[in-house]
Structure 1
Amino acid sequence: MPVFRGILITLLAAGSALAQDVSVQEGNDLYRTYCWQCHGLEATGDGPMAEMLAIRTPDLTKLAAQNDGVFPTELIARQVDGRSMVLAHGGEMPIFGAVFETDQQTAITLPSGQKMMAGLPLASLLMYLETIQAD
């Protein structure tokens, strides 16, 4: 069972209005629309497009395990939204950029306690990814 240290705690504390907008189900839906082709249905890096990429597609269920048991919220957020370029994502994620650009923002509490602003779709995707972490 995953241990939620960042996103889920912040969102539960934020109140019902935000909890309705940011959800694991919304994150799952976004993942199934935009991410599974490379990362696989189970997020283990074995999607049908993975073999066509020049780099190995990461297993998204092992992100916390590879980071001393802490889900790397800021790193993943920056890779998904284009603040940190990922070559396999096309640099600044031109394919998905519009999905994560929104005027509706929320503050995500990072494991350090620092706050980071993110659009609601990105927060939902991060919440979903945090729930699928394996030991």
Structure 2
Amino acid sequence: MRFLLRLICIGTFSLFLSLIMPWWCLVLVAGVVAFFLPGSNFNAFLSGFLGGGLLWMVMAWKEDVEVDSIMSLKIVALFPVDDVNMLIIATGLLGAVAGALGAFTGNSFRQLFIKKKEKSFYS
């Protein structure tokens, strides 16, 4: 349940902050969300990966549909990509890596402040 909450928070906060901030707001949002909603490192990494990747893929697809692929076709001509859909997937992968690294960093930063229990000789 916390995984879904973290994923939704990363997606929605990043969507709204991307209107007023640069692309790296995804990294900041994923880190802050993973800091305040703790979990395992893999869980935080995966929620950042899916949240950032899905957000950037949907945003790239939305822009592509709104402008009738004019800009996307010009970018496809520059890069060795066969189709506009591959460009959208590549954009999603970039967002996924950025979100995953931000969430992993935020979760790891939280673990710095947690005191580990000392094991007793008798326990």
TM-score band w.r.t. shorter chain: 0.3 to 0.5
Q: Which has the higher strand share?
A: 1
TM-score (norm 1): 0.31
Q: Which has the higher helix share?
A: 2
Structure index of larger Rg: 2
TM-score (norm 2): 0.33
